[in-house]
Structure 1
Amino acid sequence: MCGITGIYAFNMIGRVSMINVANATAALEKRGPDFQDIYNDNTVALGHRRLSIIDPTPEGHQPLWDMGKRYGIIFNGEIYNYRELKKELLAQGMQFQSETDTEVLLNLYINEGKACLNKLNGFFAFAIFDYQEKSLFIARDRMGIKPLYYLLDDDRLLFASEMKSIMEYGITKELDFTALHTYLQLNYIPAPKTIFKHVKKLLPGNYIEVKNGEVTIEPYYTIPYDRSKTTELNYEEQKKKLAELLESSVQKRLVADVPLGSFLSGGVDSSVIAALAKRHKDDLHTFSIGFQDEKFFDETEYARSVAKKIGTDHTVFSLTNDDLYKHVHSILDYIDEPFADSSAIAVYILSQETRKHATVALSGDGADELFAGYNKHAAFHRILEGGSAANMVGALQPLWYLLPKSRNSSITNTFRQLHRFSKGMKMTPKERYWTWAGFVNESNAMKLLSDGSKNKLDQQQYTDFKSELLKHIPDKETINDLLYTDMQLVLPDDMLTKVDRMSMANALEVRVPFLDHELVEFAFQLPVDSKINGSIRKRIVQDTFRDILPEELYNRPKKGFEVPLLKWFRKEMRHTIENELLSDSFVAEQGIFDVRTTRQLKKKLFSSNPGDVHAQIWGLIVFQHWWKKYC
């Protein structure tokens, strides 16, 4: 796991930017604290920061060159099947000078070109330079586990693992107001857009090739999904296949020359991963995070129960609201593009504490998107199934509107969910998905913008962007259609972004066994009723591994990995909100947001019925802090 950056210059103007590659590489220090090196010639500059995981010797330093010194690579990620690939390459006469997966990847590319991507099992973003042809090849993994930003203009192609590195090249920081409008709704920015108009995210399963003066950006992989076809395996056979695929995936992800552990939240997903890992690693160490002051959010008792049953060395990091406040400025400082999933705070602290014991951690990310684990999936299922209960909830919408709604207690959270459900019943499938994916609807997000910002928003571009994101949801949707959209949108741009940024801020590599592409492809062959029915979500995951987990993990509400923001905002952060980041004078001077609307949001935050406004406030805090630092 590392940080990469580079530039391909098309002309003399582009070459001027090469002087910035050292600063761009240094900006990625936290991703790779172990070593830094740079390559620079008249065409290409490559920078690499290393976090040593496999073969931590100097032979694994990058940029790494083949034995003929024609091809050089910078690589962020892990190739789990590198040993098998190395055997194939050795049999074909290729030679190696290290024990790294990086060199295997390089030689595989030399041998097979871009077709090598189809043979890789792992997660990655890498760039390979052919000195003889002066060509450059860049690729991102199938699911988007590892990030890659790029900027392409007439003079140069810039790329990097993080936006802060791209900014070191002296780019024009022009806001993309379509991206901003979307961010205000979702609290993150979907690819390929970024907050800056001229910077893009390379989509998962895509590559960039620069050859003979031409730049090509193409997909090499999409998740195979035919909504009209499902597996012929019966349910028992499906469970057996899932067990085999997931255990194999976990086993592959235990390869490391450094200490390795596993996150254990107390939910089914991370518990399954930890239990399977323990079968192949006797000294497995597991890690959990809990909240002393907010028992509603604390699931550590379940994590302890799992650790006891499977026999791991278990560590719980128990936090107070004061602990959150102590870390918030470090988190905000690391965020180099607005991203406001508040659970990132907990992931940051969990990663920081875990890094004291391990350099690699396994996680259960991806299971909810593959097997229908979120509340919205259950709500969609109830609407699609129909029935008197769903109709009654819809009929009582005026009541839900009046009752207090908040995520901060069981009762008010139930009112919040019933209100969202009743509104969603009256929407089209696309609008329902979009509404339930976000925190703020389009009209309220628009009200947040100042008149000047509204004038800069291209409404047609926004409509086209939204349509592209929702293109896989038909007029008569199934749960699998929604999950397929989750895999394109929520997973890479929210969940995986959160884990990558917060873990790499602490030089911790996180591996996600549920996202092995073979397992993902199997999941999209399963019928809906293998994943969800009227009484259970992630049905096949729960049923397959029921015997290896404590019974108390089952039949309890899903809480998610949230943090208790409301009390924090009302106490420790109140001065910052009212007198600094969202003060009337600062908002007016900045000119991006509407002063009257931000004033109303602050009033609601400190009222007796705040609803979900604290999520919206957090989105604004993140943006304002980012804007002050970078713009």
Structure 2
Amino acid sequence: MCGISGIFAFTQEGRSAIQRLSDSTDALELRGPDSCGHFTHGAVGLGHRRLSIIDVSEVACQPMHNDDKRYTIVFNGEIFNYQELKKQLVNKGYTFFSQSDTEVLLKYYMEEGPSFLKKLNGFFAFAIYDKEEETLFVARDRFGVKPLLVSQDEDKLVFASEMKSLLAFGIPRKLDYASLYEYLQLNYIPGPASIFKGVKKLMPGHYLTVSTKGKVEVKRWYKIPYDEKKVKNNSLSYEAQQKKLVDLMDGAVQRRMIADVPLGAFLSGGIDSSAIVALASRHTKHLNTFSIGYKDEPFFDETKYAKLVADKYKTNHTVFSLTNNDLYEHLFRALDYIDEPFADSSALAVNILSHYTRQKVTVALSGDGADELFAGYNKHMAEYKVRQGGFAAEAVAAFLPLWEMMPKSRNSSFGNRIRQFQRFGEGMNLSAKDRYWRWASFATEEDAKSLLSGKSKKILSKNTYKKRRLKILSHLSQKGDINEVLLTDMQLVLPNDMLTKVDLMSMANSLEVRTPFLDYKVVNFAFSLPQSSKIDGGMKKKIVQDAFRQMLPPELYKRPKHGFEVPLLKWFQNELRPLVMDDLLSDSFIEAQGIFNVAEIQRLKAQLFSKNPGDIHARIWALVVFQHWWKKWMV
């Protein structure tokens, strides 16, 4: 796991930016604290920061060249089937000077060109420069586990693992108001857009090529093989599906245990991480496992379930039992690392889990991806019930005026249920596309627009926003089933929220996180399964729960999903109140900044400090994150 940056100049003016390559690479130090390297040749510069995982010797450092130095690579990620690929290359006459997957990646590209991407099992973002042809090849993994940002103008193309590294090249910092509008709804910015005009995210499963003539081509090399007709004709019995899932997951876990440094696993007490620990324990004795406990928030503390799994598999289990003050002490460290507005508050918990885990291991297995593949979220059950219809669903929708009046909160079972009833009622009568967008959002389009000043509304391109939204929702139809929703999640929520969160917070702590559920063989299999294998009226993530039922303690079966939560509301009403009232959301700062509507911000603050704040703290958090980002990167 590492960080990469680079530049391909088209003009003499563009070449002058190559001198900033060192600054760009240094900005990625936490992603790769073990070593740093640079390569320049004519119009091209490549930079690399290394977190040593496989072959920790100096010979595996990057940028790495082939034997005659025609090709040079910088690589962020891991190739889990590299040993198999290496054998194939040896049989073709290739020799190797290292034990790294980087060298295998480079030489397989030399052998086959872009088509070799389909043979890779892993996660990655990398760039390969061909000195003879003077071309650059840049690729990103299938599902967007590893990030890659690109900015192009008439003088140059620059790329990097993180925005802070890209900004070191001196690119313009011009706000994209369509991205801001999306952010105010979703609390993150969907790719390929970014917060800046002129900066794009290379999409998952895509690669680009660059030549000295300034020609840049972007191509898609992978898409999830979902075929509705084939799914409906799937003849594999449910029992056989379960067996195949376990077999595929076992292979995925085993591949991801290859490392030359200490390895462990996150263990939340949920079904996903527990299944991974059960499988990993087949291949190692006394696996290191790590959980977070919340002393002050018993509603969210799931460590007792994690302990059941740890005891069953005799893992070396560590519980980091934290107070709200412990979480608060890490708050600004997380905010300072974020270089594009990103307001999924569970990132704070992932940050502190990564911080403590990194003190014991360098690599951690995680259960990320299972919810998007197998329908694990409450919104999936809600969508299922809407599409099934019936008295219960209609009754919840009919009482929408009541739910709107009642107090709502994520911090108690009753308040959270009322919150869910209200969201269900709001979505019941919407189209499939509008309902998905509403349930993916923290704020409606109207609420988000009301936050913008008159000047911002004029700058906002509604057509740009509508085109982006339509493209994101293109897989959804009125007559489809939950697989369409999951496919949309895989292209919106997973890469832009969940994987971004884990990458940012783990890399802020120099920790590599591996996700067995996102092995492409598991993903392809998941999208060959019918809706009935994933969800029914009583169970989410059905096949995962049934497939691993015999391996795990019975207490985990059909248990409600809590997830990571942090006490934002308490912080806003106490420790963070001065930051909200006197600094980031003060009337004077909002007026001087000119982006937001002062009166609407005042209304939100009044609700936040009222007796019935509801879910407003999530929207306030999005504003706080943006304002902190603005002060750090734009002032």
Task: Give the TM-score of the pair, scaled to structure 1.
Answer: 0.99
Could you tell me which of 282, 286, 289 is aligned with 2:285?
282
The code of the aligned residue for 2:551 comes to I
User: Aligned match of 1:563 in 561, 566, 572?
Assistant: 566
Does residue 323 of structure 1 match 2:326?
yes
Q: Is the contact made by 1:351 and 1:503 (CA closer than 8 Å) also made in structure 2? A: yes
Q: What's the CA shift for 1:574?
A: 0.7
Which of 318, 340, 365 is the aligned partner of 1:337? Answer: 340
Contact 2:373/2:486, CA 8 A, preserved across alignment: yes
Give me the whole-angstrom Cα distance separating, in 1, the residues matched to 2:335 and 2:63. Answer: 30
Return the match for 1:478 from 473, 478, 481: 481
- Deviation string 1:147-179 (CA, Å, 9 cap, x unpaired) is 000001111110000000000011110000000
Is it true that 1:198 corresponds to 2:198 in the alignment?
A: yes
In the TM superposition, what are the counterparts of 1:600-615 in structure 2 within 5 Å? Answer: 600-615=603-618
Contact 2:243 2:547 in 1 (8 A): yes
Structure-2 residue corresponding to 1:41: 41
**Equivalence map 1:472-551=2 (5 Å):** 472-551=475-554
Q: Match of 1:228?
A: 229
| Residue in structure 2 matched with residue 29 of structure 1 by the alignment | 29
Kept in 1, the 8 Å contact 2:300–2:562? The answer is: yes
Contact residue 273 and residue 364 of structure 1 kept, 8 A = yes
Q: Determine if contact 2:10/2:212 at 8 Å carries over to the other structure.
A: no
1:610 Cα deviation after fit: 0.6
CA deviation vs aligned residue, 1:89-118 (integer Å, no higher than 9, x gap): 001001111000000000000000001101
- The residue correspondences of 1:443-458 to structure 2 (distance < 5 A) are 443-458=446-461
**Distance apart, 1:191 and its partner CA:** 0.3
Aligned partner (choices 404, 421, 425) of residue 401 of structure 1: 404
User: Counterparts of 1:52-451 in structure 2 under 5 Å?
Assistant: 52-211=52-211, 213=213, 214-230=215-231, 231-451=234-454
Q: Distance in 2 between matches of 1:556 and 1:544?
A: 15
Question: Structure 2: which amino acid aligns with 1:579?
Answer: D
Equivalent residue for 2:16? 16
Distance 1:410 1:545 in 2: 27
Identity %: 58
Distance in structure 2 (CA, Å) of the matches to 1:589 and 1:300: 46
**Paired residue for 1:589, among 583, 587, 592?**
592
Letter in 1 for 2:168: E
Offset at residue 212 of structure 1 (A): 5.6
Q: TM-score, normalised by structure 2?
A: 0.99
Paired residues of 1:159 and 1:166 also in contact (CA < 8 A): yes
Inter-partner Cα distance in structure 2 for 1:73 and 1:249 = 26
The separation in 1 between residues aligned to 2:404 and 2:216, in whole angstroms, is 53
Deviations 1:511-547 (A, max 9, x none): 0000000110000000001000011111100000001
Gap change, CA 1:150 and 1:341, over 3 Å in 2? same
Contact 2:9 2:212 in 1 (8 A): no
Deviations 1:295-324 (A, max 9, x none): 111111111111111111100111111112
How far is 1:614 from its partner? Answer: 0.5
Say if 1:429 and 1:477, in contact at 8 Å, map to a contact too: no
CA distance in 1, matches of 2:109, 2:230: 34
- Provide the C-alpha distance between the structure 2 equivalents of 1:544 and 1:325, rounded to a whole number of angstroms: 39
Q: Secondary structure at the match of 1:93?
A: coil
Q: How big is the alpha-carbon RMSD for the aligned residues of Structure 1 and Structure 2?
A: 0.7
Q: Which runs of 5+ in 2 are unaligned?
A: none
2:512 aligned partner, one-letter code:
E
Deviations 1:46-85 (A, max 9, x none): 0000000000000110000001110000000000000000
Structure 1: unaligned runs, 5 residues or longer = none
Residue identity matched to 1:228: K
Report Cα offsets for 1:13-58 as digits up to 9, x if no partner.
1101111100000000000000001111221000000000000000
Q: How big is the shift at 1:398? A: 1.2
Q: How far apart in 1 are the matches of 2:211 and 2:164?
A: 27
The 2-side partners of 1:193 and 1:380 are apart by: 27
Paired positions, count: 631
Structure 1 ranges of 4+ moved more than 2 A: none
The letter of the residue matching 2:514 is: R
> How many angstroms does 1:215 deviate by?
1.1
Amino acid at match of 1:116: F
How many Å separate the matches in 2 of 1:314 and 1:73? 38
Please state how far the C-alpha of 1:477 moved relative to its aligned partner. Answer: 2.8
Distance 2:131 2:565 in 1: 48
